[in-house]
Structure 1
C-alpha cells in the first residue's frame, strides 16, 4: 500500500491536485476525529483501554498504596472508575472543535503534514486545538465529575489518606482529568490516523482511496 507522501510528492506523474490533497487530508481528519469521539464517548471508552485509562496522579500514588494497605482499596477503585467515566462523558463534545481546526487547514498546513511523520496530522490538531479543547472540556469535565460522583469519591480518598499521613495531597481534580482526557483523545486520533494511512480497509471513501493509495 502506498502512502499519501509517496502519492503526493514521490511521483511527477501523480494525478493528485493540491485541492484533492487538502480535501483528502480534511476528510481523513474528520473521519479520524469523529471515530475517536464516538469510541471514547461510551462506557469503558477510557476505562477499558490500558493505553489511555486515567489512573491516580503521580503525587497520589503514595496515597493509593497506603489506602490499599489499610483495606480501603475500594475507595481508590471508585475514584479511578469515576475519573474515567467523566472523561468518557466529556468526549462527546470534542468533534466540533476539531471540525473548526480541520476547516481552517491551509495548503501550507497540508503540505507540512505530508512532509511530516506518521502522526503529523495528529500533531497539527494538537497544536491548533489543545488550548480550545482544554477551555471547552474543563467545565464539561467538572460537570461530569460531579455527575458521576467523582468529586465525592476523590474527597473520600484524600480525607481517609490525610488522616493517615503528615503530608496531605491536594491535587486539582478537574485540571488533572482534563489533561489526561486530552492525552487520551490525541492518542486515539493518532491511532485512527495510522489506520487511514496504512490500512486500505480504513480508506472508506473514493477520495481517501485515491489520496492514501488504497486502490
Structure 2
C-alpha cells in the first residue's frame, strides 16, 4: 500500500473515530477543555464536532423543505391558514375560517402559503449558519447526551433571532407567490377576512411561526439520523 493510501486510510479512520466519540460518549466521561473543543468543532480540524453536526443537519433539513411541495406534502409540518390550527388562534375566528374553507372560498391558498414557506426555507441557510456560529455551547455535556440536543439548544438560544430574520424572507416569498394579493381580493368579496384580523402582518407572522416549527422538526430528525449513522453523514458530503 502506498504512503498516500495509508494516509487516506488514517484520515478516514480518524474521522470515523471522532464521529463515534460524539455519538456514543458515556454519560460519566470527563470532558476536558481540549476534548470539548474537538467535539464542538471549534478547533482547527473543524470536522465532526457538534457545531459541524448541527450545520449539516440544518442544511439538509432546509434542502428537503425547499423542494416544491415538501411543506404541503408532509402533514406533520403543513402550514395551515391563520386561525385554522397550527399557529392560528382558533375560537370564533377559527370557526368562521373553517366554514369558509369548507365552502371552497379559500381553496388553493393553503398550498400557495406552503410553497412560499418552502421558498423561504431554501433561502434561509445563511441565517441558520450565523446562529449556529454564534452559539457558545456552554451546556455542551447536556447537549451531547440528547439525540437532538443541538437542535433543542439552537431553538432555545436563537429562536427569536431566527424568527426576526426569517420573517422578511417569508414576507417576500408570500408576496411573490401572490398570497397577499389573493387575500386582498377575497377581502373585497368577503368581509369576514378583515374581521378575523387577516392582514399582511398577521399572515406573515403565522406562516413564519409554523414554518419555523417545521424547520426545527426537520433539523431534529436530521441530527438524530446523523448521530445514529455518523459515517453515512460524513461520506454523504
Q: Which range, TM-score by smaller chain?
A: 0.7 to 0.9
The structure having more radius of gyration, on CA atoms, is 2
Equivalent residue number for residue 179 of structure 2: 150
Unmatched 5+ residue regions in structure 2?
Answer: 1-19, 42-48, 84-89
Structure 2-normalised TM-score?
0.71
Off by >6 Å, runs of 4+ in structure 1: none
Task: Give the RMSD, CA atoms, in angstroms.
Answer: 2.9
Unmatched 5+ residue regions in structure 1?
Answer: 207-215
Per-residue Cα deviation, 1:87-112 (whole angstroms, up to 9, x for no partner): 11111232212222322344524223
* 2:100 is the alignment partner of 1:67: yes
Per-residue Cα deviation, 1:111-160 (whole angstroms, up to 9, x for no partner): 23124x33221111112322222111212211111111111223344555
Equivalent residue number for residue 210 of structure 1: none
Count of paired positions = 197
Say if 1:5 and 1:123 are closer, same or farther in 2 by CA, change over 3 A: same
Equivalent residue number for residue 38 of structure 2: 20
CA distance in 2, matches of 1:68, 1:22: 48
Q: Which has the higher contact order (CA 8 A, sep 6+)?
A: 1
Which SS does the other structure have where 2:71 is aligned? coil
Equivalent residue number for residue 57 of structure 1: 82
* 2:198 is the alignment partner of 1:168: no
Q: How do residues 45-194 of structure 1 correspond to structure 2 at under 5 angstroms? A: 45-58=70-83, 59=90, 60-70=93-103, 73=104, 75-106=105-136, 108-115=138-145, 117-162=146-191, 168-171=195-198, 172-194=202-224
Structure 1-normalised TM-score?
0.77
Q: How do residues 191-210 of structure 1 correspond to structure 2 at under 5 angstroms? A: 191-200=221-230, 202-204=232-234
Equivalent residue number for residue 42 of structure 1: 67
Which SS does the other structure have where 2:147 is aligned? coil
Greater Cα offset, 30-39 or 138-147: 138-147
CA distance in 1, matches of 2:50, 2:196: 45
Aligned residues of 1:90 and 1:137 also touching (Cα < 8 A): yes
